[in-house]
Structure 1
Amino acid sequence: MQKQIMSHKNQIALVNGILVVVGFGAHFLLHNEPLEVGAFVLASILGVLPIALQAYQALRVRVVSIDLLVTIAVIGAFAIQNFEESAVVTFLFLFGAYLEQRTLNQTRSAIKELTELAPESALLQVAEGQYEEVDVDEVDEGDVLLVKTGAKVPVDGHVLRGEGHINEASITGESLPVTKSVGSDVFAGSILENGTLEIQADKVGEDTTFGKIIELVEEAQDSKSEAERLIDRFAKYYTPIVLLLALVVWAFTRNLELAITILVLGCPGALVIGVPVSNVSGIGNGARHGILLKGSEVINRFSQVDTMVFDKTGTLTIGNPEVADWQFYGNEAEKKQVFAFLGSIEEESDHPLGKAVLNWLGNFDKVPVTETKVVKGGGVTATVAGRQIAVGNLALMAQTGLTVSKAIEKDAQNFEAKGNSLVALAVDGQLVLLLGIRDQLRPGVKGVLGQLKELGVKNLVLLSGDNQGTVTLVAEELGLTEAKGNMLPEDKANYIEQLQSQGQVVAFVGDGVNDSPSLALADIGIAMGNGTDVAIETSDVVLMNSDFARLPHALGLTKATARNMKENIGIAIGVVLVLLASLIFSNWMNMTIGMFVHEGSILVVILNGMRLLRYKVK
């Protein structure tokens, strides 16, 4: 019976409303008192059923809810035969709950849109050249799948055969299609706009990037900030206090109508709903723009940031460095062999500078590499074809006991002055090759940093493992507040702690891989993600397509959300105070008007929160 009533609450509200209209029609048009009373009585009884059931369910877990206040108020009005008010109050409460749920569902539209993009089926290769349509849950890692034009990519994987353009808006927020060919990575939930691809599944189900994004946004929208938890605790005690106040008023005045009016006026509905709707709308807006905000507490902290610390490579720069200058100091007859040593070592590295070196070398004769040792913040030492090789910065050369000549020092200074990062190669204790590798600044990065300043960020700091000359050059070009070079990951973390000890609220922007200690330590960790697992897991905010230009939108959105939350709290408290003041100092306030204003205030804070769904940074 309870389940039937609760599942048909909206239909009950509709019938309740029709009966209220019949009651008023009987009073004003037909002047039929029996029909009027009968309609209002039936509307009151029918309308109070779902409200009373919700109050009972809350009491079972020892919570005095708003539903209990309304139930008691309706029963009281019924007891003094004020059937008109009891009927209208139940209708307004049920109709308000319906509108509240409907508008809240709209604020969660980001989740709905993401869920609808989730692939449901896949074309699985069952034999060479033959494919069978199966449920996406039946696909395992390693399976070969076919994706046709217009279809959704069902899993994370890589292209085995074919070429096409894929819309990755569900992952990155970027609507422009991306060209995919053999070897390219593809993500579940993206759409193949043209072409046909044969792909191999690397991740399936909840392990895909798309699955993790949905999970993150769901968790973020369901999370509660400290302000929400405080309001929940306040409502827990506030509601019983209102009930007690009504009892005291009735005990002293014996005015039951006044007591039940206090119950209605004191309902804290707008206060309870105001903060969550702001946070949910803010998180939804971020999800639509490829910005993952991991919960309400992140929004609150991010809105207070006054210092932003940046990594250089892949953050302020494109992250695709190239060899711009080089000088060979060894025996010309051994140059080809030296290049083979360098390429063989760099092939085993995933460092961006290593990739730049390989692109510069092109084809080379690969030789076996043994006894490889990675020197943190320095480079690599190894044995290659029986020769002792060191590849890295000049600090590594010094650690290996190598003495750098004045001529090489001068070349190094010239390379650094041009904004190059240095990579040196030593063979058997002699430096034979010096490379200057340069990365390009992200287009428009200076304008983005200017927007951050306008949004209230006072300090823009660059921390990099690169040489100080290159870091200083970048800082001067971008107008940064401070720049530190030659920093290891632990040095960056220590510097962030130092800034925090000075009372600064620090956000760190990095790539989510090398800078995980700084991302974790900062008040807000922001990863230039490209949808990578590490970025999603280690940071508080993820810019899914690594679009640096989205950073001002992310910061502005959190500030607007925090401001919106305060507005909703002010509206909710202000309405309750005005209602109570009207009850004390005027004669026109009654239970019906109080309930109407109460439900109206809930809709006002919801609609105010929903404005965030349309937020765009100026």
Structure 2
Amino acid sequence: MNAFRKWRYGNWFIPVVSGLLILVSFGVEKLFGGSWNVTVGPQWWIDAGEHAHGSGHVFTLANAFMLAAAIVAGYGIVVKAVRALLVKFISIDLLVSIAAIGATLIGNFWEAAAVTFLFAIGHALEAGTMNKTRAALAELVSVAPDVAVVMRDGEQVEIAAHQVRMGEIVLVKNGAKVPVDGQVVSGTGAIDEASITGESIPVEKTKSDHVFAGTISRGGFLQVVATGIGADTTLARIIHRVEEAQDAKAKTQAFIDRFSKWYTPAVMVLALAAGLISGDVVLGLTLLVIGCPGALVISIPVAIVAGIGRSARNGILIKGGEYLETSAKISAVAVDKTGTLTEGRPVLTDIVVLNPEADRREVLRWAAAAEAGSEHPLARPILYTAREEGVAPEGLPGSVTPVVGKGIVADAHGKRVLIGNVPLLEQYGIVNDAGAAVAANKLAAAGKTPMIVAVDESVLGVIGVADTIREDAPEMIRRLHASGVQKVVMLTGDTRLVAEAIGEAVGIDEIHASLLPEDKLDAVARLQREGHTVAMVGDGVNDAPALATADIGVAMGAAGSAVAVETADIALMGDNLLKLPEAISLAKRTVNVMRQNIWIALITVVVLLVGVFAGGVTMAIGMLVHEGSVLIVILNAMRLLRNTQGATALSRSERARAAHETGRPVEPATAQSSSELPS
């Protein structure tokens, strides 16, 4: 009973009933022929019937079933047309309604039934396809967890996922869905994060790692403290973003909508004029049918929904149709260095002692004392090494003052400690007479970030910190070029020598170093003035002005950032660089499908118009071809749903080919992280 009720209110109930009535009509005609015929109606109606098909309006039992089929299929169409007229909008439904009613009035019941039946099939196909193309969203909703196991009063309690409270300890066992966003406090496990990042390989999780609601445990046992529940989870934000993005209109779609507002009334005027001039009512009604811009109207939204849905499955969130169209035009990509081209996990590699009265441990001790109050990424490797060597600072410095683009100044143990570059020394009047600049340049030339350490008026030494180039960075550059990007530009706050070492290793086209945040903005604006459509990949902090200025702002590893998910034009949920060229390629594919669909729709209308005036195209044939074009447009858009995720995998053969083509090794190379300059 429930299945019948579901089918009764489904998309295909009306087309099926109408189709059965048409078949019954044909059956009755076959069995009874012209039996039970009656000529009815006023003389003008009989005359119109004779002009249309050579006889008066003979109403048979077969015609009765055909009329019933037209009413079943056409009732909803007429209702939609009237509702649209009430809000002063001339819809496609109005064209079909007039044609069907007109065909009925002149006794052409088969044409009326065929037109409404085929149009109803078209509606069912469109609705079904939009549901299919929204399958990515349905999949995201389906992975939302239903239950959670939490620790309450020392016991395991199974509750609904939405009942978990912030700060509660949630148990994640093998095979279970993670019910909340949280941080691992105990245990180890392998988590399948495909629903969030699009990566199918499980990620190992240990203490302090973050996990996301909707991901699945593939082994191990984790205790997780809840930091995000319900609508505040990453999964919920993704679902919300995809919903908004699939409903957002592209510029082309907005144009088509405006075009159809004028096109549809124009078709009605043309049909009326043709009917009056020729005296052929059927000709006018046929023009109404073939002029329906159904394929044109659906050509854009079905492609956008499919494209955005496909990208969401692969861990790429695109803000909407407009941004998808813009992404297809990207010709220049500007990338931040630290955490984008490099791993973002720097290690201390060198300590160069310049003051004869100091030693290695003293240089490290003063550097750690100052960095203890810094939030900069480079503070971590310095403090870690200091702890390892037994010179970790006690307490915090009295004050820490960042000097933008130069370094920091700290008050530690009653002394002024400077850590930064040569301009920082010059600003504070420290004479660089110990060869600090030479030592710093040597480290920079080796791809390391140099930081000069000075206490009061004396330079003690230079510390070198290095990061590792991401294994897939060179392949990302190659794939960006292959996808049509003309120029890949590095924008970094690091020194020229360090930036060049990284750029040469990964194949960057253009390098801009020693940049302040406003300089990055200027660099992006300059690319735009050169005629480029620019995508900027950054961390959203130092890069915020450049991200806002760029045509497309891209956030990497956005799964852990609620702000990035909500604000980035393109949010790459995982930390996979190859998702960027994948996003651009998918955008280009989607826009190509949109253009193909528009041409299919326009060519179909032109061919049908020629066929009508040349003879041979009836209302039924016109609607059949029209709905065929709708089906072709739909099937063309559904090609976007094919999974291209495998293209992001970096195989050994691809690495070897990239190395051969560029003449550079693709294995991780030692390089720098960011200095106290903004990266």
TM-score, normalised relative to structure 1: 0.94
Aligned partner of 1:265 in structure 2 is 290
1:328 aligns with 2:353: yes
Instruction: Trace 1:136-215 onto structure 2 (pairs within 5 A).
Output: 136-215=161-240
Tell whether 2:562 aligns with 1:533.
yes
User: Which residue, out of 246, 253, 256, partners 2:281?
Assistant: 256
Residue 538 of structure 1 deviates from its aligned partner by 4.1
Using a 3 Å threshold, how does the CA distance of structure 1 residues 57 and 134 change in structure 2: closer, same or farther? farther
Question: Are the aligned partners of 2:364 and 2:382 in contact in 1 as well (CA < 8 Å)?
Answer: no
Residue deviations 1:440-460 (CA, integer Å, cap 9, x gap): 211132232122222222222
Task: After superposing the two structures, state which structure 1 stretch, 218-227 or 241-250, moved more.
Answer: 241-250
Matches within 5 A, 1:389-404: 389-404=417-432
Return the letter of the residue paired with 1:593: I
> 2:372–2:397: 8 Å Cα contact kept in structure 1?
no
Whether 1:31 aligns to 2:33 is yes
CA drift at 1:494: 1.0
CA offset digits 1:473-493 (Å, max 9, x no partner): 222233322212111111111
- Larger displacement relative to structure 2 (131-140 or 459-468): 131-140
**Match for residue 245 of structure 1?**
270
- 1:504 maps to 2:532: yes
The answer to whether the 8 A contact 2:533-2:551 is kept is: yes
1:537 to 1:518, Cα distance in 2 relative to 1, 3 A: farther
* 8 Å Cα contact 1:158-1:185 kept in structure 2: yes
The amino acid that maps onto 2:84 is A
C-alpha displacement at 1:512, in angstroms? 3.0
Change (3 A) 1:255 1:5: farther
Is 1:548 aligned with 2:574?
Answer: no
Q: Whole-Å Cα distance in 2 between the matches of residues 508 and 14 of structure 1?
A: 52
Instruction: Supply the distance in 2 between the matched residues of 1:29 and 1:313 (Cα, whole angstroms).
Output: 81
Give the match for residue 329 of structure 2.
304
Partner in structure 2 of residue 468 of structure 1: 496
Instruction: State the one-letter code of the partner of 1:126.
Output: R
Contact 1:279 1:561 in 2 (8 A): yes
- Does the Cα contact within 8 Å between 1:92 and 1:595 map onto a contact in 2? yes
Which amino acid in the other structure matches residue 343 of structure 2?
I
Deviation at 1:344, TM superposition (A): 4.3
Q: How many residues align?
A: 614
Distance 2:373 2:204 in 1: 27
Cα distance in 2 for residues equivalent to 1:341 and 1:201: 39
Q: CA deviation at 1:520?
A: 1.2
Please give the per-residue CA displacement for 1:343-379, whole angstroms capped at 9, x wherever unaligned: 3443443432222223332342423322222222222
**Aligned partner of residue 231 in structure 1, secondary structure:** helix
Tell me, yes or no, if structure 1 residue 451 matches structure 2 residue 487. no
Cα 1:575–1:419, aligned 2, differ >3 Å: closer, same or farther? same
CA-CA distance at 1:158 after TM superposition: 0.7
Q: What is the alpha-carbon distance in structure 1 between the residues aligned to residue 406 and residue 234 of structure 2?
A: 33
Contact 1:9–1:50 (8 Å) recurs in 2 = no
1:361-419 alpha-carbon deviations (Å, 9 max, x no partner): 23424233222222222222221222212223333232222222253222112111101
Whether the 8 Å contact between 2:66 and 2:113 is mirrored in structure 1 is yes
**Residue 58 of structure 1 aligns with which residue?**
84
- Alignment partners' CA distance in 2, 1:533 and 1:396: 36
Q: Distance in 2 between matches of 1:386 and 1:130?
A: 53
Amino acid at match of 2:568: S
Cα 1:350–1:168, aligned 2, differ >3 Å: closer, same or farther? farther
Aligned to 2:99: 73
Q: State yes or no: 1:13 paired with 2:42.
A: no
Q: Deviations over 1:308-364 (max 9, x none)?
A: 111111111122222222213357678656544433443443432222223332342
2:451 pairs with one of 414, 420, 423: 423
Q: SS at 1:312's partner residue?
A: coil
Asked if 2 retains the 8 angstrom alpha-carbon contact of 1:340 and 1:367, the reply is: no
- Which residue, out of 250, 253, 256, partners 1:231? 256
- The one-letter code of the counterpart of 2:467 is D
Moved more, 322-331 or 490-499: 322-331
The range that moved more, 110-119 or 350-359, is 350-359
Corresponding residue number in structure 2 for 1:117: 143
Matching residue of 1:439: 467
1:610 match: 638
Q: Aligned with 2:182: secondary structure?
A: strand
- Residues 59-118 of structure 1 show CA distances to partners (whole Å, capped at 9, x for unaligned) of 222211111111111111110111111112111111121122112211111111111111
Does the 8 Å contact 2:554/2:572 carry over to 1? yes
226-235 or 19-28: which moved more?
19-28
Of the three residues 364, 370, 378, the one matched with 2:406 is: 378
Superposed CA deviations along residues 287-323 of structure 1, whole A, max 9, x for unmatched, are 1211111111111111112111111111111222222
Q: 2: distance between equivalents of 1:479 and 1:441?
A: 12
Contact 1:392 1:424 (8 Å CA) reproduced: yes
AA matched with 1:510? G
Q: Distance in 1 between matches of 2:171 and 2:32?
A: 71
Report which stretch shifted further, 524-533 or 603-612: 524-533
Partner of 2:468, secondary structure, is coil
1:277 aligns with 302
What does the per-residue CA deviation read over 1:526-585, in whole Å, with 9 as the maximum and x for residues that have no partner?
221241234334421122112112222111111111111111110011101111111111
Aligned residues of 2:355 and 2:434 also touching (Cα < 8 A)? no
Tell me the amino acid that sits aligned with residue 500 of structure 1: Q
- Which residue identity does 2:29 align to in structure 1? H
1:19–1:39 CA contact under 8 A, matched in 2: yes
State the AA in 2 paired with 1:108: R
Cα 1:188–1:360 shift into 2, 3 Å = same
- 1:460 counterpart SS class: strand
Q: 1:156 to 1:332 in 2, by over 3 A?
A: farther
Mapped partners of 2:198, 2:643: distance in 1:
15
Deviations 1:495-542 (A, max 9, x none): 111221222221112233331211111111122124123433442112
Query: Cα RMSD (Å) of the superposition?
Result: 2.2
Q: Say if 1:355 and 1:388 are closer, same or farther in 2 by CA, change over 3 A.
A: same
Q: What is the CA–CA distance in structure 1 between the aligned matches of 2:304 and 2:416, rounded to whole Å?
A: 58
Alignment identity in percent? 42
Q: Distance in 2 between matches of 1:6 and 1:520?
A: 50
Please give the alpha-carbon distance, in whole angstroms, between the structure 1 residues aligned to 2:419 and 2:490: 25
SS at match of 1:176: coil
Q: Is the 8 A contact 2:180 2:226 kept in 1?
A: yes
Equivalent AA in structure 2 for residue 88 of structure 1: A
Matched, 1:593 2:621: yes
How much has 1:41 moved relative to structure 2? Answer: 1.6
Q: Residue in 2 aligned with 1:83?
A: 109
Q: CA deviation at 1:274?
A: 0.3
Match of 2:157 in 1: 132
Q: Does structure 2 conserve the Cα–Cα contact (< 8 Å) formed by 1:579 and 1:594?
A: yes
1:584 and 2:586 are equivalent in the alignment: no
